[in-house]
Structure 1
Amino acid sequence: MRVLITGATGLVGREIVKLCHDKEIKVNYLTTSKSKLVQNENYKGFYWNPKTNEIDENCFEGVHVIINLAGATISKRWTKRYNKVILSSRTETINLLISTLKTINHTVKHVISASAIGIYPDSLTNYYDQSSSEVSTSFLGQVVTAWEEAVDGFEVLNIAVSKIRIGLVLSNKGGALKEMTKPIKLGLGSAFGSGKQWQSWIHIQDLVHMFLYVLEHELPGVFNGVSPNPVTNTELTKTVANVLSRPLFMPNVPKGVLKLVLGEMHVLLFESQRVSSKNIVNKGFSFKYNYLEPALKDLL
């Protein structure tokens, strides 16, 4: 089997490539950087530039599944200009794939796209699953809605669509956990705001195995890329400190302070989404890291 991956050089993408190779699945990947092009039998790079609608159509040769991970990071200060980048990097890329597939003969049968739990509204009490009809009115909610609507365009081509709404990805190679541990290691860690906001997290290895599970079992639909046991921000902070054997004595960081420092992006730290992973579990998927402490011990 051969898959085409967008965003293959990112944090999640690199791990998915490794797992594909472990399972003897060959990988084509798209990149906007010509210096990152490699031409190996099991790992072939192809150039694209979604801003100019340029794409090497050879990327689809022999491909049965597309794994879409393309999208600019949201962990960068949100300005009006950058907000447009966050949105366009998710929708323009998908639209280019669809418009190209409409004009060529191809073998693509299935698209598995990253999405985000940011589509669910901020709530301390609700427990969301993929069937929830409520959509967040926040900027992230708008982005994810447009992102998923773009992905639905593959269905017009009779291509099955799967969406994995990703939560807080825990990895020791980058992302939120690395930033979170910095003040805690210095003894300056603290929860944010009330600390009661829910954090739906997932170990990166469980996430990449989920993508491959959906691929191998040809599962269409929406799945939440989160562990079965969300925690509050306070519990997350305390557990990281315990695993690192560091004290926690600083007061919680007030919301107003982080709003001044981070601007609109501060909602990433304060929005509360308690999200269920039962849909993928009911399909037979097993998590290796169901609980936070073992996950953190593995990573830290």
Structure 2
Amino acid sequence: MKEIVLITGAGGMIARELSKKLGNEYTVRFLTRKKKHDQDFEWDVKNKKIDEAALDNVSHIIHLAGANISEKRWTKERKQELISSRVDSAGLLLETVRKKNIRLNSFISASGINYYGTVTTDKIYTENDPPGNDFLSEVVVLWERAADDFKEQNLAERVVKIRTAVVLSKEDGALKKMVPTILYGIGSALGSGKQYMPWIHIEDICSIYETALKNSAMDGAYNAVAPQHTTNENLTEKIAEVLKKPLFMPNVPAFVLKLIFGELADALLEGSRASSQKIQDTGFQFKFPDLKKALENLLRP
């Protein structure tokens, strides 16, 4: 019998790619707001409703659900949505696991590299560093705390938290927003351009989740970030180089971004480096450790 893996956040790019990776070895189910396929089960986090059959005989939960951080301005209501979509959804899972008297082999939760704060410094952060003190780090701290509850309440053998960097994928995310502007000749770096942008190829982030699922020694937090560091300016230049397009435009001034995005602009204008050593120490090997080769894989036919 194949082990059953339940994945939340079914509509996200990581869930889609990860399910392809796991499909041969595991029975994969999804929790989603609207059932579209046989393996889908519906839930409504806001109203605390869930199809409990989703958890029948489940061995692992991969919790990827969470509203998009950069999709909308951070109003008071949006901030609450960003938190509750991550924390309340984990809480609903926990309540259901407890109710059904299940003990999971693993609870693997998405998390964010913003745990360390939205700042630009010379420091390279490791998993042993404390959290930052801004809104995004608060979101991640609450997110991880909700995951840790599974172990603290003896509902999972282990809890793994994947602190995810900017995921590079041709289907969605940062590249989908950056590439058209460069193709149309209006692409440019943001603010000073010197802010670091921790990044990871979509194939590598999915492989990290697969490793976390299979490697029972993995427990706790891991930075899911490529070993090669880059800045916003360098990323923009590398995309242009791979696309063979010139960059004409000056950097977008910080005040313009703040006018457009409000507080969210800070997440675009600041960023630090994070170490990938801990995940590599598990034996994990990045397929795309080099930025230019990652972009060539994603952007060239």
Q: How many residues align?
A: 292
- Per mean C-alpha deviation after superposition, the further-off stretch among 175-184 and 100-109 is 100-109
Partner of residue 222, structure 2: 223
Map 1:35-54 → 2, pairs under 5 A? 36=36, 38-39=37-38, 44-54=39-49
Partner of residue 27, structure 1: 28
Give CA-to-partner distance per residue, 1:4-36, whole Å, 9 cap, x none.
100122111100111111x421111111114x2
Q: Which amino acid aligns with 1:278?
A: Q
Question: The residue matched to 2:273 in structure 1 has which SS?
Answer: coil
Give the deviation of 1:241 after TM superposition. Answer: 0.5
Give CA-to-partner distance per residue, 1:91-143, whole Å, 9 cap, x none.
1100011111112132522100000011112132110011112x222211111
Task: Pick from 137, 140, 146 the counterpart of residue 144 of structure 1.
Answer: 140
d(CA) in 1 for partners of 2:179 and 2:266?
19
Partner of residue 294, structure 2: 295
d(CA) in 2 for partners of 1:158 and 1:187?
53
Which 5+ residue runs of structure 1 have no aligned equivalent?
Answer: none
Task: Pick from 94, 98, 102 the counterpart of residue 90 of structure 2.
Answer: 94
Map 1:1-300 → 2, pairs under 5 A? 1-21=3-23, 23-34=24-35, 36=36, 38-39=37-38, 44-75=39-70, 76-121=72-117, 122-133=119-130, 135-155=131-151, 156-159=153-156, 160-218=158-216, 219-300=218-299
d(CA) in 1 for partners of 2:220 and 2:198?
20
- Segments of 4+ in structure 1 off by > 4 A? none
d(CA) in 1 for partners of 2:96 and 2:186?
51
Which 5+ residue runs of structure 2 have no aligned equivalent?
Answer: none
TM-score by length of 2: 0.94
Give the deviation of 1:149 after TM superposition. Answer: 0.9
Question: The residue matched to 2:274 in structure 1 has which SS?
Answer: coil
Give CA-to-partner distance per residue, 1:214-246, whole Å, 9 cap, x none.
111121111111101120111111100100111
Q: Which amino acid aligns with 1:33?
A: K
**Contact 1:117–1:273, Cα closer than 8 Å, also in 2:** no
Question: The residue matched to 2:46 in structure 1 has which SS?
Answer: helix
**Contact 1:77–1:265, Cα closer than 8 Å, also in 2:** yes
d(CA) in 2 for partners of 1:149 and 1:214?
18
TM-score by length of 1: 0.95
> Identity over aligned residues, as a percent?
43
**Contact 2:201–2:288, Cα closer than 8 Å, also in 1:** yes
Give CA-to-partner distance per residue, 1:140-185, whole Å, 9 cap, x none.
1111111111111101124110000001100000111110111111
d(CA) in 2 for partners of 1:241 and 1:288?
22
Give the deviation of 1:298 after TM superposition. Answer: 0.5
**Contact 2:67–2:86, Cα closer than 8 Å, also in 1:** yes
Give CA-to-partner distance per residue, 1:25-66, whole Å, 9 cap, x none.
1111111114x2x22xxxx21111111111111111121110
Question: The residue matched to 2:58 in structure 1 has which SS?
Answer: coil
**Contact 1:102–1:157, Cα closer than 8 Å, also in 2:** no
d(CA) in 2 for partners of 1:273 and 1:168?
12
d(CA) in 2 for partners of 1:18 and 1:166?
20
d(CA) in 2 for partners of 1:63 and 1:230?
38
